[in-house]
Structure 1
């Protein structure tokens, strides 16, 4: 019989599972992390795990989403404090977000080529929901910067830049940061309708 948890216990267990998943993704990656490891770190049974998440991949996906939300919230609070609404400010904002990603637990699975593996294990409807979620974040971000471009195309452009981090070696590690900065700046100029000569 499934263990009945109080709402407070559920919240604590979910938090512990998310923290364990982030830790394991950074150390071991997707393939080498097991449900057994996760439940041991969270202090619950393997059976109880499935009351919270249908698979370790869905748990990992939720961790990635929460990381994305926290990054954007942090970045937006810094940006709002500065008050700048130029393409240059937008570029710096995006570049700082991508750099945070590059130096996070997420890079372990990106460098090990496991992002594609993880995404293949996520149901199509979850991916579609996440893209809608990306679009919503983009709309809020673009609204703050007074950007009038199609939010779906703009969000897809930002996703494309993010996906370039899957190919750092192929692009060239030595020049990747410079190329990333250039791509971001080019998109920022287009989204904000500024010419390179305006700055």
Structure 2
């Protein structure tokens, strides 16, 4: 008979699994990380793992989502300190967000082009919920900027996602110029969505 975990034990195990998953994604990527590696690092049985996650890709998804949420929280706090966000401030903040991603464990799976593979392995409802979270984040951002009348949150969110996905093709785009390309794409989006007073 399986041992029932207390709520505090469940939280501890989840934290250990998330830490192990983060480390493995940074070192090995999605395909080369096994459930055996994860449970060994977390100090739990394989059976216990499946009490928490149906497969390793779902654990990876939650680890990525946690990381994204931490970035969004930092960005939201910065936005709250500003009275109004213009094109330049918006461009700098979004670039900083992407720059942080480039310095993180996520870049390993982006460079190995495993992000699409991971998304294909996930249940559809997880992805749909994730896109809803992106839209909620953009609503927070929009509350700090003057947005042009014809701008739709879902389109801006999809545009930011498309710019993010360009990191998978950094070598093809050109690593030497990639940061400038990223800045240009973000600034271009900012120009399309933000309304600034002419006399500012």
- More displaced stretch, 94-103 vs 118-127: 118-127
* CA distance in structure 2 between the partners assigned to 1:147 and 1:4 by the alignment: 51
Pairing 1:68–2:68 present: yes
* CA distance in structure 2 between the partners assigned to 1:42 and 1:132 by the alignment: 31
Aligned to 1:92: 92
Aligned to 1:19: 19
Distance of aligned partners of 1:193 and 1:81 in 2 relative to their CA distance in 1, 3 Å threshold:
closer
* CA distance in structure 1 between the partners assigned to 2:55 and 2:199 by the alignment: 50
- Structure 1: 5+ residue runs without aligned partners? none
* CA distance in structure 2 between the partners assigned to 1:194 and 1:156 by the alignment: 23
Determine if contact 2:30/2:114 at 8 Å carries over to the other structure.
Answer: yes
* CA distance in structure 2 between the partners assigned to 1:79 and 1:135 by the alignment: 16
Distance of aligned partners of 1:194 and 1:14 in 2 relative to their CA distance in 1, 3 Å threshold:
same
Aligned length: 198
Aligned to 1:192: 194
Distance of aligned partners of 1:18 and 1:198 in 2 relative to their CA distance in 1, 3 Å threshold:
farther
Aligned to 1:171: 173
Larger helix proportion of the pair? 1
* CA distance in structure 1 between the partners assigned to 2:112 and 2:84 by the alignment: 37
Aligned to 1:158: 160
- Structure 2: 5+ residue runs without aligned partners? none
Runs (4+) of structure 1 exceeding 3 A deviation are: none
Map 1:8-47 to 2 at 5 A: 8-47=8-47
* CA distance in structure 2 between the partners assigned to 1:168 and 1:194 by the alignment: 32
Distance of aligned partners of 1:185 and 1:198 in 2 relative to their CA distance in 1, 3 Å threshold:
farther
